[in-house]
Amino acid sequence: MLTAACLSLCSCNGVQSALDPAGDEARQVATLFWTMTIGGLVIWAFVVLLSLYASRWKRQLISETAAGRVILWGGVVLPVTVLTALLSYALWLMPSLRPFAGGEDAHLRIEVVASQFWWRVVYQRPGENAVVSANEVRLPVGERVEFVLSSADMIHSFWIPALGGKMDVIPGRTNRLSLSATKTGTYRGQCAEFCGTSHALMAFPVAATEPSDFDAWLKVRSSPSAGIDANLDGRALFERKDCGDCHRVDGTAAQSGKGPDLSHIGSRLSIGAGLLENDEGTLARFIAHSASLKPGSQMPAYLHLSAEELAAIATWLKGLQ
């Protein structure tokens, strides 16, 4: 039991822990967890002590009236009170029951479309142009953000444990989730519903930053990267090899929305939806070996490209800051 307790407590910290909360909702979930755990332990200890008391130390008959009182208070009143309180609290925590569930006061809307096995992420501030990105979520701390979740193919589940509870993403339906980060940092989100071969590889980094840093970041992403006009060999190859049939790079002829948007991929925190670090080597590796790195993904492997060609495309992509 000690080992089990240690194992479960050792995993309380980290970028993907619901017990190391960095948001209002996650804090409520963690409070509920500790309330349930400590409450359960207290009741368990009480019942054990009571049965020891009755079976070892006080082995004598009690009157029928006293027995009736024990059953009434211990068997009816106490469980009904405790369970009603816990159930009410847990139900209140359900996203659709919260007072801010509609995101009325959200000045930032983030649309997330889940696909096998990546995330389209679109940032929308009222009265401003939408900014399209993929496979990572950035948000300002201290601000309530409304997530609008939909699916392009099958059931996925959007979950950032450090910020709040999970929400299923269902084809033909739009779900909403309201989250508010309270602590700057980089966390990890993960698809939490089995959705195919690479379900476990459908993750995304989450960066919660100061509002001014977030606004600066968003402003840069609202126009094409200066990098599109550098490393032109790579850009020519990208265009010649028809990468634009699936990807969009703002400011170029590549405008497809079939696959992840690559407009500013050079500055992303990871590539392949949380799969690899983002550098020129991993970019080249992913282009060549996507089929084995991410089984079942729609991206074909480009094994026929030479190492020089792969490096040129990777250099151009890394320059899209």
The contact set with ligand CUA (CB under 6 A) reads: 114, 117, 156, 191, 193-195, 199, 202
Which residue has 């090899």 as its token pair?
241
Q: Is the peptide bond prior to 214 cis by the omega test (within 30 degrees of 0)?
A: no
Question: What's the CA gap between 16 and 259, in Å, rounded?
Answer: 26
Minimum distance from CB of 169 to ligand CUA (Å)?
A: 8
Minimum distance from CB of 59 to ligand CUA (Å)?
A: 57
> Which two three-digit tokens encode residue 25?
């909702």
Minimum distance from CB of 95 to ligand CUA (Å)?
A: 19
- The nearer residue to ligand CUA, 187 or 238, going by C-beta atoms, is 187
Contact 139, 110 (CB under 8 A): yes
- The nearer residue to ligand CUA, 177 or 191, going by C-beta atoms, is 191
- The nearer residue to ligand CUA, 140 or 161, going by C-beta atoms, is 161
Residue 43 CA from chain centroid, whole number: 34
Q: Among 206, 226, 200, 242, which residue's Cα sits nearest to residue 321?
A: 226
Q: Spell out the residues 6+ positions from residue 177 whose beta carbon is closer than 8 angstroms to its own.
A: 95, 146, 147, 149, 158, 164, 167
Q: Among 222, 26, 30, 22, which residue's Cα sits nearest to residue 142?
A: 22
Minimum distance from CB of 236 to ligand CUA (Å)?
A: 34
Minimum distance from CB of 275 to ligand CUA (Å)?
A: 13
- The nearer residue to ligand CUA, 135 or 252, going by C-beta atoms, is 135
Minimum distance from CB of 113 to ligand CUA (Å)?
A: 11
Contact 27, 182 (CB under 8 A): yes
- The nearer residue to ligand CUA, 131 or 195, going by C-beta atoms, is 195
- The nearer residue to ligand CUA, 118 or 238, going by C-beta atoms, is 118
Minimum distance from CB of 160 to ligand CUA (Å)?
A: 14
Q: Among 71, 185, 188, 65, which residue's Cα sits nearest to residue 119?
A: 188
- The nearer residue to ligand CUA, 115 or 231, going by C-beta atoms, is 115
Q: Among 304, 278, 277, which residue's Cα sits nearest to residue 289?
A: 304
- The nearer residue to ligand CUA, 117 or 238, going by C-beta atoms, is 117
- The nearer residue to ligand CUA, 168 or 213, going by C-beta atoms, is 168
Q: Spell out the residues 6+ positions from residue 272 whose beta carbon is closer than 8 angstroms to its own.
A: 135, 201, 286, 290, 293, 294
Minimum distance from CB of 151 to ligand CUA (Å)?
A: 9
Minimum distance from CB of 202 to ligand CUA (Å)?
A: 4
Burial class for 10, CB neighbours closer than 10 Å (0-12, 13-18, 19+): exposed
Contact 126, 219 (CB under 8 A): no
End-to-end Cα separation, the chain, in angstroms: 50
